[in-house]
Structure 1
Amino acid sequence: MDDSTTGHNKLARHNRRLQALLRKYKQLHQLQNALIQLSEQASTVPELTLLYPAIHHILEQHLPSRSFYVVLQNQFTQALELSYFVDEKDGISVPMHLANQFGEGVTGHVFRLGETVYYTKESMQDAVKDGHFKALGSPAEHWVGVPIYREKTIIGVMVSQSYNPTQSYSDQQIELLEVMSLYLATAIERVKKRELLESEVKIRTRALMQSNEALNSEIDHRKKALERQQILFKIAELATSSEHIEDVYLQVHQIIRSITFAENLYIALYDKESGWLTFPYCVDQKTAASKPREFAKGYSELVISTERVQLIDSHRAKLLIENGIVERAVHVPEENRATSWLGAPLKTSQGVIGLIACQAYDHKYEFDHDDMELISFVSHQIAAVLQTHLANQALKASYQELEHRVLEKTKELRQTNLHLQMQIDERKKIEQQLYHDAHHDSLTGLPNRSLFLTQLERTLQVYQRHPDHHFAVLFIDLDKFKEINDQLGHHAGDQFLISVSQSFADCIREHDLLARLAGDEFVVLLNHLTDKQQAEDVAKRIIRVMQKPFCMKGICVQSGASIGITYSNKRYADTDEIIRDADAAMYYAKNAGRGRFEFYHPLLTAGKNIQRHAEQHHLCDLPTHFRSTEISNLDDSNDGKRAKIRVLEAFGEHPVLGSTSFDILKKFAAEKDEQIEIELKLLQEAQNWSKQFDGNTLFSCSTLLLEEHTFPQLQKHLNASQYKLCLLFNELDVRFASSRQLENLKLLTQSGVAVGINEFAKDRCDLTLVSQLDFKYVLLSSTFSKRVLQQSSYEVQLKGILAVTACKHIQVVAKGPAILNFQTLLEKHGLKLFFGKQQSLQAQNLYDLPDSELLAE
């Protein structure tokens, strides 16, 4: 009976979950369908008078909107004017006495507020009484107003109202109105542009039909434009068809030759900084290639200085020389002087970079104004191509820009085909944008909350079916992000977020997921994990990346990242619990000093029970027991002669959490003074327990006992007992210990106190700690022990550790699973000592147990 009931309950829960997902997917489908219909209408309707009824028809399919109107702001008078109006009571046209009063009513209130407003009949009457706006028109039972934005500027309001008391608006329906309003401004602009375009086409058609002379002129104009278009296309091809600049010069010559006389042509480049002219290309029947020269008063300099096309014949050349505008550096024989010379500047966005010039001898050809117009027309395009090659810019980008210019110059000739292509491209762009906006963050381009939660839900379902497929969620909050915004501005803050997102992406694998939740909060979903260390490694990489200062406008701000980590657990039933626990761990990391990471622990969310107990009880009042772990040696041949080694660890019986390590309790619940008091009491208790043991006893301590005001108490405790312990200190604490703490640690070793280092090589293998301090024991972390068997680089590090410890007569103990095969493999690498079996030792309250009282095991 119980199994049947349990099965029915599970089926019911699954059924409810499936129904919720169905509602969610149905809502998203309706929203997507409405936006697609809006995009289709914006692409097809010829004028605005047809767009608004189409939008009204779309909305009627999903919500009660038989009464619907749109109000837009007149950009000249700034007044709110009605663009579309259909009402069940007031008809299909707005009443005359309300035509220009929307700014005073609830519609104007929404426009000024800039936010979505939902009123019932009663709440609207209350707002009228409070003076927020005037009552206009027939009162509706339910009224929804949504602002219409173009980029960040509000341009109008879209309103739907219902006169039926039972037809209210749900959150999903309001959300549909809001999303429709986001794309309405774009749709209005597209239809307006289409109307304007059609109007221009009609005006041009009427103009063409006025006279045959105008028609012929237009035909000639189009022919010239087509010819220029072909020239522009040839120039545009240079940006991508030629890899070497010499080929570009040769093809430019061929293009100029196709439009005018160009048997003699040269291209000169001008360096403004050095003031020199160079001639990379020159073809001339009279002279050889020109040598580089300083900027002087030649024909070329005249073109560059005036930035205009210059046409010079023999007569004008004489006048220019007589007036001192042009000077010849050397004497040129009469037969070698050009009788007609034409030069055009090569202009770019950075200024004039040179010129292109054609010249004729012996009156073989006389350039005219048509030639000036043609060479001026192509010189700009040639300059762009040359600048692209000379500056080594991206060829593809230059070609697209050049193609854009061509399309802009010839749009009147190819309007019909281009218009159709623009419609197709714009529709594809909108569809892609709709999909991207629905799943990605607009600033960083990262997946958004919706996509992340969807992927997390799938990952959780996979883990529930396959418990060995572990995962982890990292909740990241950026430190001092507000300072960046305050000091450098919000634009710099946006650039910082973009830079951070790119850096975070480099810290994870390809199949992991990085998303931005909101503001400065990011999350990472790590899949296919085998242990927590992998998640820890990713967190460390992110923290290291965030330690680099962010600089902009000459100001550098040091940021950081506080990271909360939650690892896959069978107790997780939904994604909200996972996000909640990761968020709690992140806040603990931020409150504990920032720039660090913390794994989630039940203490973070244990709730009021822990708070109430913390107020009523001292941590030292908790019932305590010790766990003893023996250090074993696989070589048992002389076990009787070898001194035994064991490690003591203290546990507290917490009323809410049960048996929990004192290291965790101190970390989450104790102030600094209380923690020191607990440390000393535990040390005293461990000394009592060591009386029962043969051999050496190792006990973990924190570096707080090495501080200046605490160290004398530690020495007193150690000197008062004849049974000495070996004090174990965590490698991370020793690495970041102060100079005073390190000096006190050396004093301990010099006074004969045995000292060991715990969790060694968990993050990195720092042999200086082992070589500089006189440790008796080195306990390798389990993470390092596993990696020794997996990666050859860690095997080399282990050899270094064993070499240093052998010189200093330090015993090395390996942590890891108490599996014979695991320990046997490590023994082949030179390790002898391993963590062995554990034994629980019961004890009373720390304060209640006298030093002389010993409890049996």
Structure 2
Amino acid sequence: MEEPSQQVRRLSRRTARLESLLKKYKRKSQLQYTLIQLSEQASTVAELTLLYPAIHNILSQYLPSKSFYVVLQNRFTQALELSYFVDEKDGISVPLHEAHHFKDGVTGFVFKSGETVYLTKDNMLARAKAGDFKIMGSQAEHWVGVPIYRDGAIIGVMVSQSYLADQAYSDDQIELLEVMSLYLATAIERVKKRELLESEVKIRTRALMQSNEALNKEIENRKRALERQQILFKISELATQFSDIDDVYQQVHDIIRSITFADNLYIALYDTEKNWLTFPYHIDEKTSYKPRPFAKGYSELVIRTEQSQLIDSIRAKALALDGTVERPAGYNHKLAATSWLGAPLKTATGVIGLIACQAYDHKYEFNYDDVELISFVSNQIATVLQTHLANQALKISHQQLEHRVAEKTKELQQTNLHLQMQMEERKKIEQQLYHDAHHDSLTGLPNRSLFLTQLEKTLKKHHRYPEDNFAVLFIDLDKFKDINDELGHQAGDQFLVWVAQSFSECIREHDLLARLAGDEFVILLDHLTDRQQAEDVAKRIIKVMQQPFCLKGVCMQSGASIGITYSNKLYRNTDEIIRDADAAMYYAKNAGRGRYEFYHPLLTASSNGHKQQEQHHLDKLPTHFRCTEIVNWSDNAQPIGFLEAFGEHPVLGSTSFDILKKFAAEKSQLLEIELHLLNKAQEITHSRDEDMLFGCSAMLLESAHFDALKQQLKRQEKALCLLFEESEIRFASSQQILNLRTLADMGIPIGLNNFGKDRCDLTLISQVDFTYLLLSSTFSKRVLQQTSYEVQLQGILAVTKVKSVKVIARGPAILNFRSLLEKHGLQLFFGKQQMLDKNKGRKAFIQNLDNESVPS
């Protein structure tokens, strides 16, 4: 049995061991808690200036650290620099900013040695005497320095010191400092990255704000530009849609009212010869305006300075005091405007008047934004007003006339120079017209060229995959001419744009809608499984077109006649498809309009097989010829006639043979009809004095038929001018072009018909020696409506002048615009409306050459 003394000794050893373990555990726990606090501070503080005080606060809980600082090495200069400093005695009086201050002291010694150094006051003095380092600042009783490492390299020193002799540092406290130094570099790096990230965020935020400001400014500028563009559109309408000057004044008032306060507005005109002001339009709640001599009022100030004027109550008094403005005797100052704004109406000949707005009783105060807007509007309106006023004037002064002639001459010279450059750089012209060759400028839809290209691809695909069917819908708008006549051509254009949008909503996304010309549209439906799908589209279009088209309170009823041709293996080219769809459309139109018809080879025939064969022979139909005289306004007028053949069809009635030939069953029959009609035309030409123009098909130029054509032309005693469609010649083969040149070499007059209908190809004119060139009615109308087509016309006239080709303008009512077309150098006009010849007193007419005259 163990002795009591042995038990006591054993228990004492265990107690000592437990106390040691407890002390060790307490130290480890303390270190762990300290590191956790350090990690939390490194994760939460936003900048280094806050991290060091947090570390200092943690250390002060476990060791004497009222005097504490951190020194880090500058990675660029390699000098030791103070990052954090708190001291009981030195404060910030120690010159820590001096270069190499820490390098020579005990801090530098720790940095060089890379080891922890603990010194008492005596030890420090002794080692300083030994030359290990220099003593800097106040002498501490206890000093401990710990190196700071990062990635195995020392980057700085952390120091804690005490000025009290009884406040020494224990091994545990020194160990705590060493542990803190191990994690300090990581904490510093984390805070630096957070500072850098926040700095980048601030920079990017500032850049984003600046970008948003620029974007807002750009949006505001675009909005302002759009508003001004809308104003210009409204002003442009004044020049064409209103003939009454009072209506123009009212529209001007409405435009200004839309941009600023204009309850009180007047328009004044200045007569420079009489030195007189008139007020043709005024709306005012207090003042009435009467004509008066030019004096010293607000209006006169605008006209004299030729600048916009903004006058408030203060400026009004100043103008009155210096004599710039004088009020008439008996003027009631209570009726004076509190804010007045006037803008001059400037034209090329000077200021013709002004537009003024005013407000009473401080109801509105005009500002410089109002000045800018009204000045902008007045500059645009001035020319419109001058044009309308000129139409009402009895005469134009000689000086104004000379100025206009000079301006027009300059414009023509510039145009001629531009055209010469265009002719020398034909490639540039083709690039400029490329878009017009593939898209309709009005509706933005594909045009004939692009449609035929896509149709040809679809046809080839159908030949490879017969189960993949397609259909073509040929659409002609009903009563489109009535809309143009009643509402004007601009309304007609808006109607066509509305139609294009409406048709687009009736088809699928991959279907193709195109505008051929005028009021003719075509639709290509692909990937069809049966004819019913094409029929459904036609029904939707007819339903849409039953809606009336309204503009400015006037509504017009239109409609659509639709011809449909469905794919079959017999089709070999796109012309056949378009021909059949067009024929079906004409049948639908003649059958009552507002309907659709599918094409069938027996479309015009009865159910009787014998009658069907007879009706298909178009040469058996009763025929007659009509001659329309082409008006010649030149001094040496040479009579010219346009000869057309008509047939009495049992279903379609009296119809042009150009339409009837589309129903011919075989190509050989077409050739027979062409030669037959040409022979009759030659007989008529023999008995006529004037030059005769007669339309022919390019089929006659094919090698198989050309010999027959030459033989027939050789028999004629008087030359008959053969007109070929421009669209056919454009796609003619090289052999057909060669045969066309052969006709010209034989002395046979030849011409191009419907030139410029969907594109303007000047190369056609230069390839062959044509005698006549008939512009299409579509192109003639566009010349009068769009400036870009005036440039194209000048190009045509320049080429035809060199080639000695006679150009004829064509249209249903083109003679109404004779004076406008004459300024471009056109002298020949062809239409169906009677027009009195100003020089010879005779009328254009249409004559039935079977000895029966009919009115035009």
- Establish whether TM, by shorter chain, passes 0.5: no
What TM-score does the superposition give when structure 1 sets the normalisation length?
A: 0.36
Q: Looking at CA atoms only, which structure, 1 or 2, has the larger radius of gyration? A: 2
What TM-score does the superposition give when structure 2 sets the normalisation length?
A: 0.36
